[in-house]
Amino acid sequence: MAEGTGTGKRVTWVELYFDLIFVFAVGQSAHIMVADPDWSGFGRALGLFMPLWWAWIGFVILYNRHGDDRAAQRLFMLAGTLPCAVAAVETHAAADGHATAFILALAGIRLVLAVGFLVIVGRSSWVALGYGLSTVAFAVSAVVPEPWRIALWVFALLQEAAHLLLRDDDRGRRRGGSTRAARGPSAGTDGEVAGGPAGVAAGRPARERPARRSRAAAVRARFRRPVDPARRVDAAHLAERFGLMMIILLGEVVIAVGEPAAEAAEHDAHYWLGLLSGLMLAGALWWLYFTAAAPINEAVLRASGGHPAMAYGLYAGGHLSSAFALITMAAGVSLALSGEEEPTGAAWLLTIGLAVYLEGTRGLTTWRSSRPGRVLHTVVIGGTVCLALLRPLISTLGVLLVATAWAITLAAYVSWRAPERLRQVNDGPRAFLHSSAARD
């Protein structure tokens, strides 16, 4: 294992138990979209999902950096399940406008995290302070009107992410900036002196060359190991934890297939087409993630030395869209197979969810290395969304069949290209990181 990437710890049983409670909470978002399959239902589900997701991220990072599976830490994890369970039960009430209990449960989750980081870690007072501020912000938002409530939620989530995974990166930039300033304005790179004869001979304005060097330095700074070893993220544990979470969320898609099938009165062609296509879609989604995204993300995080900002981009923020996309597709599948009147929104939930999942898992990013490839990538993602336009011509079940065939086709493509991308990471991880950043 690369130096500084962590000990390669395994996910503990108490973490798995916590994840089951958490998925019960976020899984309620799918029921909101099933009950209200339009843009308002989608927006409410996403708004309730976001604070739950970032609460889960806090527990993941706490155990990733400092978890020894001792009795005290298990108690903190179990304590976190209580407000999560309350939030799950109150999700539907919050979607209907009765959000007080749900919001106070979110505040309780942050309070457990604040105490956890303060007691278990001790020295991570900044992280504990961040969750303390979030606790106050969520508690106050329970008694303020809607516009201010949203503002408080946004403030709480942004400062949580800043304290948890981005603070070390900001300090590194400030240190780098002060070091460059100490060298003086005449210090260049590769033996050049800014504004000197070498800069003039290059044939470009001297002021453009420092700008390009600054961009290159910013890219390099993204992948520099954290100064404090305690802030490094364990790549193996994080990859396993998120992989298990994706498996559990894929279970939501399987449940969305199984429940309508179990309630079907007749096992006709509609029954078998819906059952088999839904299960094949879940399998294709599994294949897309675990064939390419999971191993590549772990390899890239290892190459960065467990950098918190890289963990933020790949997992905490990067998996947010993929996780919610699975819940969105679960809602679309449930509506498509329900046997009742099929709302038009069901097809859009399916195709938008699939497009977001494809983009979030980054299985198609090999196309971005060239301009035609980027155009093709955009066409594929946009075309996936537009599959819902087939709805006036075919039923929602037909859209599900087409989306399943499309997902299987893309899974086959990812299987073909994934070994090459993994080889690029393993052969030259630093070069791969820099080229990926330049493309994105």
Percentage of the chain exceeding pLDDT 90: 31
Write the pLDDT tens digit of every residue in 279-318. 999 999 999 999 888 888 888 888 888 888 888 888 988 8
- So what's the pLDDT on residue 49? 92
Select the more confidently predicted residue: 170 or 94: 94
**413 pLDDT more than 60:** yes
Write the pLDDT tens digit of every residue in 140-188. 999 998 888 999 999 999 888 887 776 644 444 444 444 443 333 333 3
**219 pLDDT more than 60:** no
- So what's the pLDDT on residue 253? 92
- Lookup: tokens for 350: 């399916």
**327 pLDDT more than 90:** yes
Looking at residue 338, what DSSP letter applies?
S
Q: Tell me how far CA of residue 319 lies from CA of 110, 157, 178, 243, 433, in angstroms.
A: 21, 16, 34, 10, 18
- So what's the pLDDT on residue 6? 46
- So what's the pLDDT on residue 336? 87
Looking at residue 36, what DSSP letter applies?
S
Concatenated DSSP letters for 141-153? HTTS-HHHHHHHH
- So what's the pLDDT on residue 265? 77
Q: What is the mean pLDDT of residues 397-424?
A: 87
3-state helix, strand, coil split of the chain in percent (to 5) is: 80, 0, 20
Q: 56 and 238 in contact (C-beta within 8 Å)?
A: no
User: HEC string of 262-317?
Assistant: HHCCCCCHHHHHHHHHHHHHHHHHHHHHHHHHHHHHHHHHHHCCCCHHHHHHHHHC
Amino acid at 26: V
Amino acid at 154: V
**pLDDT-derived band at 100, boundaries 50, 70, 90:** very high
Select the more confidently predicted residue: 424 or 387: 387
> How many helices and strands (H and E) does the chain possess?
19, 0
18-22, 180-184, 263-267, 274-278 — most confident range: 274-278
- Distance, in Å, from the CA atom of 54 to the CA atom of 84, rounded to the nearest integer, reads 12
**66 pLDDT more than 80:** no
Only one residue has tokens 């001979």, namely 201
16-25, 186-195, 260-269, 274-283 — most confident range: 274-283
- So what's the pLDDT on residue 353? 94
Torsion on CA atoms 375, 376, 377, 378, rounded to nearest 10: 50
- So what's the pLDDT on residue 190? 34
Query: Mean pLDDT over all residues of the chain?
Result: 78
With b for 16 or more beta-carbon neighbours within 10 A and e for fewer, the 318-327 pattern comes to bbbbbbbbbb
* HSE-CB of 165 using CA atoms within 13 angstroms: 26
**pLDDT-derived band at 232, boundaries 50, 70, 90:** confident
Q: What is the mean pLDDT of residues 359-375?
A: 70
**264 pLDDT more than 90:** no
**pLDDT-derived band at 133, boundaries 50, 70, 90:** very high
Select the more confidently predicted residue: 399 or 215: 399
Concatenated DSSP letters for 236-269? HHHHHHHHHHHHHHHHHHHHHHHHHHHH-S--SH
**220 pLDDT more than 60:** no
**18 pLDDT more than 60:** yes
- Distance, in Å, from the CA atom of 82 to the CA atom of 22, rounded to the nearest integer, reads 10
Is-above-0.85 flag for pTM?
no
**pLDDT-derived band at 362, boundaries 50, 70, 90:** confident
